[in-house]
Amino acid sequence: MPRAKGRNVIAGLDVGTTKICCVIAEWSPDGNLEIVGVGTNPSRGLRKGVVVNIDSTVESIKRAVGEAEEMAGVEIASVIAGVAGGHIRGVNSRGVVAVSGKHREVSQTDIDRALEAARALNLPQDREVIHVLPQTFIVDDQDGVKEPLGMSGVRLEVEVHLVTGATTSVRNVVRSVNRAGLQVQDIVLEPLASAEAIVSTEEKELGILLIDLGGGTTDVALFRDGAVWYTGVLPLGGDHISNDIAVGLRTPTADAEELKKRHGCALTALVREDETIDVPSVGGRKPRQLSRHILSEIIQPRVEEIFTLVARDLARAGLEDAAAAGVVVTGGTCIMRGVPELAEQVFDVPVRRGVPTGLRGLAEAVQSPIHATGVGLALYGARGHGGATTAEPGKPPSGSPRGRLGGRRAGRSTRLPSGRARHSPFHDQGRSRWERHGGDSRYSSWRTSARRPRSR
Pair (379, 422) in one structural domain: yes
| β strands within 252-410, DSSP E | 276-279, 288-291, 327-330, 351-353, 360-361, 389-391
State how many domains the chain has. 2
pLDDT at 6: 63
- Give residue 105's identity as a one-letter amino acid code: E
Which ranges of the chain have pLDDT less than 70? 1-6, 101-102, 384-456
Pair (161, 171) in one structural domain: no
Q: Report whether 72 contacts 36 (CB < 8 A).
A: yes
Contacts with 320 (C-beta within 8 Å, 6 or more apart), sequence order? 311, 314
Pair (21, 157) in one structural domain: no
Pair (400, 431) in one structural domain: yes
Pair (93, 142) in one structural domain: yes
CA angle 128, 191, 117 (to 5 degrees): 35
HSE toward the beta carbon, residue 54, CA cutoff 13 A: 13
**Sign (positive/negative) of CA torsion 384, 385, 391, 393?**
negative
pLDDT at 7: 75
pLDDT at 444: 30
Residue 190 falls within a domain, yes or no?
Answer: yes
Per-residue pLDDT reduced to its tens digit, 122-171: 889 999 999 999 999 999 989 999 999 999 999 999 999 999 999 999 99
Residue 383 falls within a domain, yes or no?
Answer: yes
Residue 69 falls within a domain, yes or no?
Answer: yes
Residue 291 falls within a domain, yes or no?
Answer: no
Pair (131, 190) in one structural domain: no
Residue 49 falls within a domain, yes or no?
Answer: yes
Pair (12, 66) in one structural domain: yes
Residue 102: give the domain boundaries. Answer: 89-165
Pair (97, 142) in one structural domain: yes
Q: Report whether 181 contacts 325 (CB < 8 A).
A: no
SS3 of 229, please? strand
Q: Report whether 280 contacts 251 (CB < 8 A).
A: yes
CATH number for the domain spanning 139: value is 3.30.1490.110
Pair (143, 13) in one structural domain: no
Count of other CB atoms within 10 angstroms of residue 456: 8
Calpha distance 335→337 (Å, rounded): 6
CATH number for the domain spanning 52: value is 3.30.420.40
Q: Pick the last residue of a domain from 165, 184, 212.
A: 165
Residue 29 falls within a domain, yes or no?
Answer: yes
Calpha distance 116→112 (Å, rounded): 6
Residue 41 falls within a domain, yes or no?
Answer: yes
pLDDT at 389: 43
Residue 331 falls within a domain, yes or no?
Answer: no
Pair (14, 73) in one structural domain: yes
Pair (11, 143) in one structural domain: no
Pair (150, 176) in one structural domain: no
